[in-house]
Structure 1
Amino acid sequence: MRRRALVAGSLMPPMIAHAASPGRISFEEPSGAAPGPMDVYLHRPAAWRPGGPVVVVMHGMGRNADGYRDAWLPHAEAHGFLLVCPEYSDAKFPGVRLYNYGNAQAEEAAWTFFALDRAVDAALAAVGAPPAPFALYGHSAGAQFVHRYLLLTGAPRARRIIIANSGWYSWPRFDVNFPHGLAQCAATEAGLRAALGRPVTILLGDQDNDPMHHQLRRDAATDVQGLNRFERGRNFHAAALAAAAGYGIPCGWDLGIVPGVAHSNAGMAQAAAAILAQA
């Protein structure tokens, strides 16, 4: 696989509770700490029409979907895609279990992964469009969510996936327990093989290499993956290539490096948008 250097449940359409303001809608989402409203921030370029490209952006641990929408808005305009940013709020999805891990050790009906698909459908309904495939990007905690969403659900509607600056990963192996690996959860060998064949980019800022970053998880189990995000991401990509080789299948995952960028969604967005615009 090439290494690139880059410049800078049931998915029935949800009912929309209300359009709170231009650029934000809310719908009733059954999963999370309790049933209730979930917000989705979006931007529709003037020229976008139903059937046009859709890019979904997953926020980090700050749970600031509006800030991610604002950072990505110029790229939505430049590339002409509908921008959808679901918000996994601290109130509705508290802690890493309900966001980063997708609640994947609960019964499948309670997985919060599926809120993503329902949020996308709520946004599409708000702009008069039917359910549709989308390109998917997650940054930091959002990257944790996105790669586990892929490994556990197969992400069937995601045409292209970017995992950007994740703090750490669920390794593609079944002798390490979830969330550090895929044992003791619903992941399967068949699901992993399918995921490894999907078009995925592990996108890393080459300056996201601070082993003492205040948001970086450090413990013995996690440090096996590497001592900083850049190192862990490179190792995760290598592990994916090795897993695919072990199955005797081609790997669809590549590695993208964004020079001069540390742990910054805004810094990663231009390179990521260029990749997703080609999906």
Structure 2
Amino acid sequence: MPALARAALPPGPSRIEIPERSSAAGILPLWLFRASGWVPGGRVLAVLHGAARDGDRYRDVWAPLAEAARALLVCPDFTRAGYPGEAYNEGRVQGPDPVFLALPRAVAAAREAAGDVGSRPFEAYGHSAGAQFLHRFLLLYGAPGAGRMVAANAGFYTMPTLDAAWPYGLGGVGDVAVMRSALTRPLTVLLGERDTDPNHRLLRRTSEAMAQGPHRFARGLAFFAAGRQAADSLGVRCAWNMAMVPGVAHSNAGMAPAAANVLWG
């Protein structure tokens, strides 16, 4: 690990770079914030940015919330140079180094930089493309190391079924045992009630995505319902929850306080 990452992480905002084998650039920048009241063994939150690849802005929005919760904030920056095209939100799962597994490595590196050698589960929040990343990390790999998770305003979803091809389902890449376990994990699908623009410039409009609904709000409802249905079919209790944020459209800043309440309230 670079010397900077090995140095003691001070309170407040900072940035480090770590080696990362899933990145075409060979590195993964981490935008960090250490609350003044955080101590090793305390809360750790991983925040996953959207398609703009702006981890620094997500860090800055979440910093006051992390300060209030006495948390260590870890915001990986999946840059376009390291993760071109759809490599970030779709994860290159059929290659030798799937992108989704970079997240627990990033959290471990941030903890090491802060002098934390504990194994407390980290919490995770993803917005938009980050929500795509997060729910796929859960459905495909079981979200190793993660505790509570909040997926907010995803543009489209991987449904919990092996009958639909990736990335709209787990067909060809998924495992029923992992999927069954994922349905019992604490995931909250968080939806902005005004995230209903069917013509948003970043909204995917393939036939498979449109079958999930005309906009993000409808697609989130469909994903949550599919999770409940899959759990019933597999004979497990679904631990997923759904929450809605009144008056908010496609905005990380608008969703973050509600997400923090889900995670830490």
TM-score (norm 2): 0.94
| Equivalent residues of 1:137, 1:162 under 8 A apart | yes
* 2:91 paired with 1:105: no
Amino acid at match of 1:78: A
| Equivalent residues of 2:41, 2:118 under 8 A apart | no
| Structure 2 residue runs without a partner (length 5+) | none
* Aligned-partner Cα distance in 2 for 1:26–1:219: 36
Amino acid at match of 1:104: V
* Aligned-partner Cα distance in 2 for 1:221–1:17: 46
* Aligned-partner Cα distance in 2 for 1:104–1:255: 27
Amino acid at match of 2:19: E
Deviation at 1:248, TM superposition (A): 1.7
CA deviations over 1:39-90 (Å, ceiling 9, x no partner): 1011111111000011110000000000000000110011111111011000
Deviation at 1:17, TM superposition (A): 5.0
Deviation at 1:276, TM superposition (A): 1.2
Task: Give the CA RMSD over aligned residues.
Answer: 1.4
| Equivalent residues of 1:55, 1:276 under 8 A apart | no
- Which structure has more relative contact order (CA 8 Å, sep 6+)? It is 1
What secondary structure is seen at the aligned counterpart in 2 of 1:89?
A: coil
* Aligned-partner Cα distance in 1 for 2:195–2:125: 18
| Equivalent residues of 2:48, 2:126 under 8 A apart | yes
* Aligned-partner Cα distance in 2 for 1:155–1:220: 29
* Aligned-partner Cα distance in 2 for 1:183–1:111: 17
* Aligned-partner Cα distance in 2 for 1:16–1:209: 44
* Aligned-partner Cα distance in 1 for 2:185–2:49: 22
Amino acid at match of 1:162: V
In the other structure, the counterpart of 1:66 is 56
In the other structure, the counterpart of 1:193 is 180
In the other structure, the counterpart of 1:33 is 24
Deviation at 1:164, TM superposition (A): 0.4
How many residue pairs get aligned? The number is 259
Amino acid at match of 1:103: R
| Equivalent residues of 1:55, 1:136 under 8 A apart | yes
In the other structure, the counterpart of 2:170 is 182
Deviation at 1:18, TM superposition (A): 2.4
1:55 paired residue among 36, 45, 51: 45
In the other structure, the counterpart of 2:152 is 164
| Equivalent residues of 1:139, 1:164 under 8 A apart | yes
| Equivalent residues of 1:31, 1:115 under 8 A apart | yes
* 2:244 paired with 1:257: yes
CA deviations over 1:184-229 (Å, ceiling 9, x no partner): 11x1111111000001100000000000001101121110000000
TM-score (norm 1): 0.90
| Equivalent residues of 2:76, 2:106 under 8 A apart | yes
What secondary structure is seen at the aligned counterpart in 2 of 1:113?
A: helix
What secondary structure is seen at the aligned counterpart in 1 of 2:202?
A: coil
What secondary structure is seen at the aligned counterpart in 1 of 2:165?
A: coil
* 2:119 paired with 1:128: no
Amino acid at match of 2:35: P
What secondary structure is seen at the aligned counterpart in 1 of 2:238?
A: coil
Amino acid at match of 2:24: A
1:173 paired residue among 141, 161, 173: 161
2:4 paired residue among 2, 7, 18: 18
| Structure 1 residue runs without a partner (length 5+) | 1-14
* Aligned-partner Cα distance in 2 for 1:182–1:208: 26
In the other structure, the counterpart of 1:205 is 192
Q: List structure 1 runs of 4+ shifted beyond 2 angstroms.
A: 16-22
* Aligned-partner Cα distance in 2 for 1:63–1:178: 23
